[in-house]
Amino acid sequence: MRAIRTTFLIGPVLGLALVGCYDRRDKAPEAAPPPETAPVLAGVDLGKPVRALGTEPFWSVEITPDTLIYTRMDQPTQRAPNRGATVQGTVATYATSTDLNAAMNVVLIATECSDGMSDRTYPLTARVEIGDDTLSGCAASASALKVAPAP
């Protein structure tokens, strides 16, 4: 029986011996890198909801941190996962596929835009390629559009 007690004591003693080998003067662990900030394009924070819209035909794409929602008057609403924007200079591109299996690319360009039907100007020009359609329009942060609705 004595041999069994010795075996049980060896584990804790070795564990304490190993802990004692750590030298606190060793290099401290590095801090985690700061979280990536969302890109900003023409003053629009792409990490927050953005709305792209166009006329003739009337369409819109709501871009949220998780989802892109495409609506058009003559078609069913389509949803797609937001995989994030690829930003190159003054252009941000969202590439995804909708729940109706349509490829969708939303391109936002940092150039001022007018919708052609009102006096409103938007900070971004938008182009949406969905299926075989290519649509042109404008975009801004969703919060800016709520504060100053179109005339």
pLDDT in tens, 15-60: 544 455 545 555 656 665 655 677 999 999 999 999 999 988 899 9
Q: Report d(CA 72, CA 61) in Å as an integer.
A: 9
pTM of the model: 0.73
Banded pLDDT at 151 (limits 50, 70, 90): very low
Mean pLDDT across 6-21: 50
Alpha carbon 1 to its chain's center? 64
Q: What is the pLDDT of residue 33?
A: 60
* 65 vs 148, more confident: 65
In degrees and rounded to multiples of 5, residue 6 shows phi and psi of -65, -40
Q: The tokens of 7 are what?
A: 């075996």
